[in-house]
Structure 1
């Protein structure tokens, strides 16, 4: 796609500073001074109509007087002047602007009106904006310091993006004294135009950036944010701080789930799925970034501790346990190695106490043995300065080992003066080191979390993961009927009908509207039975006296009916009552009471929660939260995130729960969330699971009308695997071809396909002499974010050496949405032995249909001029073919969809 469209913003060849000034302490003076002092190599123009010179440089009254093109405008003028400045910039073909000025949306109605005018003018001329009300933008490697910060930043490989300008200034001040450098510092301000999503897109392709740090106060566009942050995290570590973790407000929740799950839970679930590390403090932000920049490859949460002091080792062990880390169990081989090199009084276990008189050799042998132990995922080595200790030599030994192994190796040199030189050595070597065990163990916990979250990142689950398809249309009819009755809360019969449509086992339930009906139903179902109030106004039935369990005979039923209605009317006299529900008592002696819920976060949309169930659910607060869609891996992770997970295995006299049934039920709930946009809240509580399966004993569902969208998954932050794009096609020789969206597990299939292409086909596809795909390219091509891309494989089924069925890739077509949101760029390649069989036309037609379904209007691409077969295909499909404006050897092709 050529250079990134935000390049004029972050790598401008020329900059104009509106409001540049000589006035002491004015923002315009500081910004222009910073640009001069930072060594910016491009053309720099101060604009101020009141002064012919600014800080010794020729000033211009307006941008119209500047004879050369200007890429970027920095605006530090009063807010009422900004709309006209953007208009002038548009006429001068300026591509981007950073609006430092405050006084817009945050300043009330007048400010909102100004902000709207700025945005309208910018969109009319296609000018991209950072701000307003921001510190500005820094790119130290090109000398761009378009901020009013007092001072510049060191050049480095960290990109820092912040919604707080004040925090930027504090961090920049801290970074100077801690030898931390940046590729970019971006203060977003109000972000009325360019937001996190587009900035992350740029930083992914920025070669100067190795890690991305984010300070977040809130997210506006969840789909854009999730799409961009997941794409970024595939290639570069992303570490973030999110403030506002605790909400001081409360709401009247219509379900248990909604009262249990807050916005921070949803945010946390979102960033875990994105493969991102979330930390709590700015210090942790940079400590984790430093650790990840060392080339460590985290692989788990099993920690080994090597220490010359027993007390610090125990302290670190306690912290590890608090953080949910596992103290590694050393293998017999490691123990034997340590016995040979350590004194007989060593601890003979983990923590590895190498005794107070340990010298550098002892550290070297002990740390090396632990790093080579397959049961160890990382090592924390602690030194306390004792009479015999030589901290600097031990530090050198640890640094040497850190350069030889990819496992995380973290140092904690405790003390002051005696270890100061060692700390400088660690800093110079860019190795993580700490003064106390607490932050050292914390960093390892974040590294292990990063490893786990990276596994969550590559999951691309489909909305329909079962062979037995749900009755989606029937479920929608149930919801629509309730909404036509102007009801948002489904009754128990409707709720269970919804679950049944997705093949979730439910307890049979019938409604009785008189004591006599209740008796007849109880006799039909068989005793014992349970009776529950049927009211759209009562969420928590037990609290209202609306649940009576274990009715064992006919005489008890009419009496229970009257007792229940009297109790409910006394508790909630205004509640509408539509009889009672009768269902068989669920008698499961080995059953565990669980809860599965759904709620809708205002930013991230549907959220699924799992945890302990029953009447004490809100008091216990045991729940784990995940963003749909889910697959088996994600469901297991959701379950393991709860305390009740420990009760699902065999213990005492109880056999283990049927985990396959429980996981299947959670997958079904994920399907419901994907396919039913009108599902707003749901409680399945209790869900009773035992060795035989899982049964929804009670359910409550809240629905709401949503405006229909061309995007069937517009309600979701993470786009599911588009299984509806799977199709079958038959060649003229009768062999079957399956066309389906690509999956992460297709990496090997894709590698073999590219490797077996002819040299000419590879050249025509990649426009260079690539032999096979790198690991990064494989990840890029198979871990697709289907909200912004489509990749369709054509595969043919064949048989392997042992007669097992296997797939062979015979073609692939893909397209990526352009930043305008209306067009996309495509690529296609067909196996050499499939040329001339119509597969290219079939794949391209399927790709165009999928793009059209997304609302895209134009498909475009580039074809080498000598690729006659592709140009013929494009002509047959109705594409317009034109010479490329940039390269005579390339043809530009496009088609209106």
Structure 2
């Protein structure tokens, strides 16, 4: 079961510099103290009482020794090299201390002090001075405003957490209290331990992407786990995660919803970007396991550390109670997991060992068959695990407590069942997850499972979340093979010139220009003409005949045309066109008397179909992001959308379409034909390649796009230019 869970060796060519000071051979405690209430004292206790084997240099000019360790007056007085400095002094002392660290060759500094950019402009200036001093001296900074760090396998415990047990969970957390909660939970759980912990603080220098690379390389870490309030460089984090997740699981709990991407949103996509949902989608895109509740962090990390992955979503449930079997089925369905369809041969084998009243269809309810013989459960687990239709097994009920509930004589049978399950787990690639209502009292059989590395949970919901994470990881690892990222399109010279004109004029692209860009790069866009005067409307009749036409105002000052009365539909004949022209001009003048109106765009009406939206924003944290969802006027109301970071793989585009709650609409309802999913996927990939090719493109909205059984039609195209990026 753990055949894929070997630690990841460090790659010398790409070795993270954090190894040099997160596993230090020497530590200086700047501001070391003999006062038990001070952090400088706690750090000394953690090192001295924790049997740290390296050199410890307490820096304090006022006392000769602390806990029996001689002090030095300053960093310059330290007789040997220093890998790591823990700085416990006030914020104003930091610039000078970082200069001293640089002179001494200190590799990394952990800065506890607050009072930097989180406190206002003056603090931000001080923080920049600290960073400048550190960079000048070649010192990497953890923090400031950090809760500290530990590396338990190297006995570096700067937090003096006596109850933190060494293990294989690496944890990076912007909340010190979250660390304390997880340490207590792990202590109570009795199995999970930690490798490295760091509080990143302000991420002035070292950020989440740096920590993730370190944990990905660390041989003592089997799962990288992060509590994140905010990324500073989300785009770089995604790049690193894309490298790490194929070889090591990564778990993220993201608190809150980021508002950065919603600033002055000028498009539908802009209004939806920057959301918590977007962050979750982008993390999952690169193989990160995202948990939504704090009590899921440790169970999921533990499950992935022990079992790594499942090959799919098909779960076989063995239960000793109908009620819990039903609850389990509900939770599995809500999580997107499936009840495996057990083969006839499997059901026959189960029938041979269970009472006649047992339910043999999944979930399997043993219906009292195990009350006098708990070993029956182990035999059931073995039988369903042997079924090719099963990806993972979930044992649900009161295993471990039969000797408590019924008779003490059943303890032997429970212990034998536990050993049988352990042997099965070692021999099988299919995860076995156990929920027991007796888990809180830790009976012998459950303790034995824990000792052997089999996870046992006291919550059906937590156990299902673990199964979900195992399935998602397994499917991600399967999908990523042979799925290269989409290359950017080759920029077109005429389109570059078009962007340059728009930027020079201080405007976004007109719709006909946006349509030209799309058309140039293979996106199916209907023909259009632009009439600059009422007399030019006759050209539309000559070009399009008696087809019903759409008319839209062309103006750099009117972004949302419908709001200004700048759109008229189903127009046939020159008289209708002239009347619509007059109404559009009147409406737009009333909307904005100073608007620069350059005429109207005319294009044939698209036939009816399913409306979807394709959008792009350049998120300030994650870079260019593509959105796909249900289109029309309801996009911001229903928010049934999927996000992916650009560039995409083909599988990314396919999963965007499959992710929607409205996917049944796309698949065809009430006799309607399914839309052309292949064409939509191709559209998403082409848009991704256009965005990669043109950094001058800031936002894009194709809303609506009408999806058909035989292709699609882009009805409205809006492209906002990036005024700070010049055309090449």
TM-score, normalised relative to structure 2? 0.90
The offset of 1:361, in angstroms, is 3.4
CA distance in 1, matches of 2:289, 2:466: 11
Who is 1:749 aligned against? none
Q: What is the CA–CA distance in structure 2 between the aligned matches of 1:645 and 1:552, rounded to whole Å? A: 35
Indicate whether 1:381 and 2:395 are aligned: yes
Mapping of 1:647-658 within 5 angstroms? 647-649=665-667, 651-658=669-676
In structure 2, the residue matched to 1:454 is 477
Corresponding position of 1:511: 530
Q: Which of 363, 367, 370 lines up with 2:384 in the alignment?
A: 370
1:612 to 630, 644, 659: 630
Please state how far the C-alpha of 1:247 moved relative to its aligned partner.
4.4
Aligned to 2:3: none
1:673 and 1:265 mapped to 2: Cα distance? 22
Q: What is the 5 A alignment of 1:128-277?
A: 128-147=140-159, 149-151=160-162, 153-179=164-190, 180-245=192-257, 247=259, 251-277=263-289
- Deviation of 1:309 after TM superposition, in Å, equals 1.1
Cα distance, 1:65–1:303 mapped onto 2, change above 3 Å:
same
Preserved contact between residue 266 and residue 627 of structure 1 (Cα < 8 Å): no
Contact in 2 for aligned 1:41/1:143 (Cα 8 Å): yes
How far apart are the structure 2 equivalents of 1:356 and 1:537? 74
Q: Distance in 2 between matches of 1:310 and 1:289?
A: 29
| Aligned residue runs from structure 1 range 95-494, under 5 A | 95-147=107-159, 149-151=160-162, 153-179=164-190, 180-245=192-257, 247=259, 251-358=263-370, 359-384=373-398, 392-393=414-415, 394-415=417-438, 420-455=443-478, 461-464=484-487, 472-487=492-507, 489-494=508-513
Per mean C-alpha deviation after superposition, the further-off stretch among 545-554 and 14-23 is 545-554
> Alignment RMSD, CA only?
2.7
For residues 547 and 382 of structure 1, do their structure 2 counterparts lie closer, same or farther at Cα, with a shift above 3 Å needed?
Answer: same
Q: Which sections of structure 1, spanning at least 5 residues, go unmatched? A: 713-897
* Counterparts of 2:211 and 2:701, CA distance in 1: 38
Q: Could you tell me which residue of structure 2 aligns to residue 687 of structure 1?
A: 705
Q: Deviations over 1:290-329 (max 9, x none)?
A: 1122235311112221111111111111112222222222
Q: Separation in 2 of the partners of 1:632 and 1:142?
A: 43
**Bigger shift: 548-557 or 47-56?**
548-557
Distance 1:347 1:77 in 2: 66
Contact 1:276 1:453 in 2 (8 A): no
1:677 aligns with 2:691: no
Q: CA deviation at 1:248?
A: 10
Q: Contact (CA 8 Å) 2:613, 2:702: kept in 1 or not?
A: yes
Q: Does 1:623 align with 2:641?
A: yes
Shift of 1:204: 2.5
Relative to the length of structure 1, the TM-score reads 0.74
Which residues of 2 match residues 721-800 of structure 1 at below 5 A?
none
SS at match of 1:253: coil
The alignment covers a number of residue pairs equal to 703
Shift of 1:500: 0.8
Distance 2:487 2:41 in 1: 59
Match of 1:502 in 2: 521
Given that 1:38 and 1:140 are in contact with CA atoms closer than 8 Å, whether structure 2 keeps it comes out as: no
With CA pairs under 8 Å and 6+ residues apart, which has the higher RCO, 1 or 2?
2
Contact 1:213 1:238 in 2 (8 A): yes
Q: Is the 8 A contact 1:459 1:631 kept in 2?
A: no
CA contact (8 A) 2:173 2:227 kept: yes
**Does 2:570 match 1:546?**
no
Distance 1:538 1:313, change over 3 A: farther
- Report the Cα offset of residue 262 of structure 1: 2.7
Contact persistence 1:522–1:529 (CA under 8 A):
no
- CA 614–80 in structure 1, closer or farther in 2 if over 3 Å, else same: closer
1:643 to 655, 661, 664: 661
Q: Which residue of 2 aligns with 1:746?
A: none
Q: Give how far 1:665 is off.
A: 1.6
Q: Which runs of 5+ in 2 are unaligned?
A: 1-11
Structure 1 residue 679: deviation in Å? 1.0
What CA distance in whole angstroms lies between the structure 2 residues aligned with 1:194 and 1:608? 28
CA distance in 2, matches of 1:585, 1:63: 76
Q: Secondary structure at the match of 1:555?
A: helix
